[in-house]
Structures are given as structure tokens and as C-alpha cells.
Chains A and B, each alone.
Chain A
Amino acid sequence: MREKIFTALRRVIKSGLNSFWRNRWVSTATISVMVITLGLITSLFLVSVIAGSILQDLEEKVDISVYFKLTTTENEILKIKTELEGLSDVKSVEYVSRAMALAKFEEGHQNNPLIIKSLEELGDNPLEASLNIKAKLIDNYGSIASFLESPRFAALVDTVNYRQNQQVIGKLSSILNTIRKSGLVAILVLGLVAVLVTFNTIRLTIYSTREEIGVMRLVGASNWYIRGPFIVEGGLHGLLASVATIIIFYPLVLFISPKLSSFLSGVDIATYFKQNFWQIFVLQTLVGVSLGVVSSLIAIRRYLKV
């Protein structure tokens, strides 16, 4: 029994490879269409990675600061800091003491003798201590600000700079959300189109062999014995298409990456591509092979009814 299955498997694979080679022009056409599909899917994937990192970058630039009255002690501020860090919405809190604020200020204005001089004349440090807070999500800033504005802290807190920036943060948040949502829809639609094109190409090639499939049935071949070679062929198309795609993509990514980095700082797809090369390749191959196999299986179904 086992030997029979093994024999059948070997015949099926041999027949699939044979058919692949004999129809090499049709195979080439199918593979080309698949390369376009896989290329598109991989590009969409890379674009979404780039866009994601840009959006995350933008998001990380947002924070709010709370300034404390000069009378508030460092202990009180650190207590508030601990309390803030306990909130689930808060990602990080950075304490800037009065001395640090002054040092930063002086550093920022060292080329402006007028300001430095007036500071010296003031004698005392006029700057307030502050906490810089980053939220986990851009939509969380409102609730963090309300927390700090509660009457409990009224005696300690001077200002929370959220209200001034509220509109900008809100707008940015809605833009980011829109880009993410529409980007996802665009990726899904384009991906679907690419998959359908491949599916129909495979369907057409199998349509041209529909009579053969019927003949095989009449001569006594079982369904799996007929399907087998088509599955082998479809899988092989997917595998070769994936290899071809990666061969095209590798130099392309290396070529485009520096150009992209020059106007989108912090975006480095070449490094990303190299670091995740095997994951991308395996994923792409899986998509290609399953596309070839599943399309063949669906296309062949109706001709097996004899």
C-alpha cells in the first residue's frame, strides 16, 4: 500500500515537471504574471513598513509638558511622576528640574549675548521644573491632561501645555488614523486585484487542458492522480516566481533606499530588507506557492465531473 502511494506520488511529480517543461512558454507567462503579483504584494508590504515607521516617528514627536510652580518641591514633583507612571496610558515620564531647564535654555541661546546677559542680571533661576510625558497612544493625551488639571494638583501645577497644542495633536491623530485606514484598504484592494489576475491566468491555462482532464477520468484516473501534476506545476510556478521576484527586488531596494532616505530621514529600507530577507522571501514564497496550488485546485474542479 505504502509502496503504491509512493509510486503514484513519484509519477505525479514526474508528470508535473514534465508538463512544466513541455509547456515552458505557458509556464513562463504564468510565472511572469505571478512575479508582477508577488512584486506588487511585496512592494505594498515595504510601503506599509515605511509609512508605518514615518507615522510612528511623527507620533513619537508628540508629548505634553506640565510646568510646576516655583514653590513646588522636587519631592512633590517626583511623587506626581511616580503617580503618572502608574497610569496605563502613559509610556514614559521625564523629569526636567529647574537647574536642568536653565542649562538647556543657556545652551539653546549661547549665541545670543543679550539673553545670556539678562539672565545673569536676573540672578535667580526664573525657569520652572517640568515633567515631559509621552502617552502610549496619541489619543490618550486628553485624559492625561485632565488628570493633571484636577483640583488635587491645582496648588502645585502652573500650566499644562496640552490645551495650546490640543488642536494640533487632535488633527495629527485624525490624519494618522485616516492614512492608516485608507492605506490598509488600498493594500487589500491592490492585493486582491493582483491575486485575481494570477488566478485567472492559471484558470485559462487549465481551461485549455479541460478535455485532457476528462479523458484521464475516462481512462480510469482518480481525481487526485489528475490533480497531482497540476498542483506540482502550480507550486513550481509559485516557487520560481518568488525566486525571480526576490532577484529583481534585491538590487532594486538597494538602489532606491539611499534616494528614499535622502528626503525621508530615518527611513532605511535597505537595512530593513536585509535584516528581514529570509522572512520576506519565505512569506513571498508561501504566497506564491499557495496562490499557484489553490488556483489550480479551484480551476480544475469543474472539469473533473466526468
Chain B
Amino acid sequence: MVALEKVNLIIKPSEFISLVGSSGAGKSTLLRLLIGEEAPTMGEIIVGDVSINSLSHHELPYLRRKIGTIFQDYKLLTAKTVYENIAFAMEVAGKHELEIKEDVPQVLNLVGLGDKADQFPHQLSGGERQRVAIGRALVHRPDILVADEPTGNLDPVNTWEVINLLLKLNELGATVILATHDNSIVNNLERRVVLMEKGRIIKDDEKGKYLI
């Protein structure tokens, strides 16, 4: 039993692509391979002109700083405040202090958490945590945005706010890879849709629909 098999996928720069499929189809595994959280037993993953497989443990962080990842389970730093969680992505990239002081509050307002800056993740609701994760993924203006079920815990209004945010980042030039099983989002987006099932890609449509 393998998580992914015979996957051959090319994503062009500045593309907005939705990765759909039922849970267990291999969406998350594909995204984890992309940021080097897992290594493939066979095959190659190339981001830009770099083969991830050949990156050393020491080089991996540099790749990850170019990618913003919204994790399905948020992966927030529980010992840090909301502000610090978002600032952390900029700090590790060595961004200047002034830049951080300017950008983080902006992003906090963007995801609607301006008044929760000093709270810790355990004081937040599920939806709020998800928005912190989103803020952290986009604050350092990554070239690639990887979003694994970023709207899983949000109500419809917030969901569309997040999707619009992703679309806006895409307009500004970022490549967005969105994994979701919410067909209403996908059907309204009218962008490229890749359907996965049992670890394989079974459909790849420009301006696709996700029908169950």
C-alpha cells in the first residue's frame, strides 16, 4: 500500500491549482513532499530549478522560507503569542525588525485577529487558530503558497474571505496550491482542478469542476 503512485504533475508559476479528492486520496502527502517534510521512496520533486531530494538537511530551511504553508492541523507554536507566531516566519527568514513591526499588524488585521495579538493559541477558537496559520503562511510573501484544507474550520463567510485572500496573493504573482474537499469552493473558482483518488491523479482539468 503506497500513499502516492505514478503521480506526474507540473504546476506552472503563478498558477492557482485546486487539489481535490476524498480524504486519504493522497492530497496531504503530496503537499508534505513539496515542503520536504517527507521524502519520496521513488521519483523526484522539483521546485523552481531545485530538486528537493538532493537538498541537505541544512539547505532545506531555505526552500521552506520560499513556501508558505497552511497546515491542516495549523501547527502553531503553542508557547508563542499570535503576534510572535506570525512574526516567527519573518524572523527565521532574517527580515528586518522594522519590516516585521510593520507587516505583522497588517496581516493580523487582514485575517481579522488585530485584537488577539497577545493571546496564546490555546486561548483561541479553532477558526481563529486557522487564521493565525494562514497569517503565518503569507506574511513573508512566499513565492508558493501551499494550503492544506485552509477553510476546514471556518464558516462560509470566513471561508470566502480566505479564498479571496488566496486569489489576491495569486494575482500578485504567488503560485497557490489548495487542497480541499469542499466542492462549492472549487466549483466557484473556475481554476485548474486536479482530482486524486487512492494515491493517483485521475483527472486534471483547466477550469474544472469537482463533482461527487
* A-facing residues in B25-59 (Cβ within 8 Å): 35, 37, 57-58
- With an 8 A cutoff between CB atoms, is B211 at the interface? no
The smallest C-beta distance from B140 to any residue of chain A, in angstroms, reads 8
| Distance between Cα atoms of A129 and B46 in the complex (Å) | 98
B37–A218 CB distance below 8 A: yes
Interface size on A, residues (CB 8 A): 21
Q: A7-B94, A11-B91, A223-B58 are in contact. Are A215 and B65 (CB under 8 A)?
A: no
The smallest C-beta distance from A205 to any residue of chain B, in angstroms, reads 12
The smallest C-beta distance from B54 to any residue of chain A, in angstroms, reads 18
Contacts of A223 in B (CB 8 A): 57-58
Contacts of B57 in A (CB 8 A): 223, 305
* A-facing residues in B48-76 (Cβ within 8 Å): 57-58, 60-65, 69, 71, 75-76
- With an 8 A cutoff between CB atoms, is B102 at the interface? no
In the complex, which of the residues B92, B96, B97 contacts A225, with contact meaning CB atoms closer than 8 Å? B92
- With an 8 A cutoff between CB atoms, is B129 at the interface? no
Contacts of B77 in A (CB 8 A): 212, 215-216
The smallest C-beta distance from A212 to any residue of chain B, in angstroms, reads 5
A220–B75 CB distance below 8 A: no
Q: A218-B37, A219-B88 are in contact. Are A4 and B79 (CB under 8 A)?
A: no
The smallest C-beta distance from B100 to any residue of chain A, in angstroms, reads 10
Residues 203-221 of A, flagged 1 when their CB comes within 8 A of B and 0 if not, give 0000001001001111111
- With an 8 A cutoff between CB atoms, is B7 at the interface? no
Nearest A residue (CB) for B67:
A220
Contacts of B20 in A (CB 8 A): none
* A-facing residues in B106-124 (Cβ within 8 Å): none
- A-B contacts counted at CB < 8 A amount to 54
Nearest B residue (CB) for A10:
B97
A216–B88 CB distance below 8 A: yes
16 intermolecular pairs with C-beta atoms under 8 Å apart: A4-B94, A7-B94, A7-B96, A11-B91, A212-B79, A216-B77, A217-B60, A218-B35, A219-B69, A219-B92, A220-B65, A220-B89, A220-B93, A222-B61, A305-B57, A306-B37
B61–A221 CB distance below 8 A: yes
B69–A218 CB distance below 8 A: yes
Beyond the given A218-B75, A220-B61, A222-B58, could you list 17 further A-B residue pairs with CB under 8 A, ordered by the A residue number?
A7-B94, A19-B79, A209-B79, A212-B79, A215-B77, A217-B60, A218-B35, A219-B69, A219-B89, A219-B136, A220-B63, A220-B64, A220-B93, A223-B57, A223-B58, A225-B92, A306-B37
- With an 8 A cutoff between CB atoms, is B78 at the interface? yes
| Distance between Cα atoms of A221 and B136 in the complex (Å) | 13
Interface size on B, residues (CB 8 A): 26
- With an 8 A cutoff between CB atoms, is A61 at the interface? no
Q: Which of A4, A7, A23, A218 has the most CB of B within 10 A?
A: A218
| Distance between Cα atoms of A279 and B199 in the complex (Å) | 65
Residues 191-212 of A, flagged 1 when their CB comes within 8 A of B and 0 if not, give 0000000000000000001001
Residues 267-295 of A, flagged 1 when their CB comes within 8 A of B and 0 if not, give 00000000000000000000000000000
B37–A222 CB distance below 8 A: no
| Distance between Cα atoms of A38 and B78 in the complex (Å) | 32
The smallest C-beta distance from B204 to any residue of chain A, in angstroms, reads 28
The smallest C-beta distance from B138 to any residue of chain A, in angstroms, reads 12
Per CB-CB distance, the 9 closest pairs between chain A and chain B, nearest first, are: A220-B64, A220-B65, A221-B92, A215-B75, A222-B61, A220-B61, A220-B92, A4-B94, A212-B77
A8–B79 CB distance below 8 A: no
- With an 8 A cutoff between CB atoms, is A22 at the interface? yes
A219–B64 CB distance below 8 A: yes
The smallest C-beta distance from B104 to any residue of chain A, in angstroms, reads 14
| Distance between Cα atoms of A297 and B70 in the complex (Å) | 29
| Distance between Cα atoms of A223 and B102 in the complex (Å) | 27
* B-facing residues in A131-184 (Cβ within 8 Å): none
The smallest C-beta distance from B6 to any residue of chain A, in angstroms, reads 27
Contacts of B93 in A (CB 8 A): 220
A215–B79 CB distance below 8 A: no
Residues 236-266 of A, flagged 1 when their CB comes within 8 A of B and 0 if not, give 0000000000000000000000000000000
In the complex, which of the residues B64, B78, B94, B97 contacts A218, with contact meaning CB atoms closer than 8 Å? B64
Contacts of A11 in B (CB 8 A): 91
B92–A212 CB distance below 8 A: no
Q: Which of B76, B88, B93, B96 has the most CB of A within 10 A?
A: B88
Contacts of B75 in A (CB 8 A): 215, 218-219
Contacts of A7 in B (CB 8 A): 94, 96-97
The smallest C-beta distance from A132 to any residue of chain B, in angstroms, reads 70
The smallest C-beta distance from B38 to any residue of chain A, in angstroms, reads 10
Nearest A residue (CB) for B88:
A219
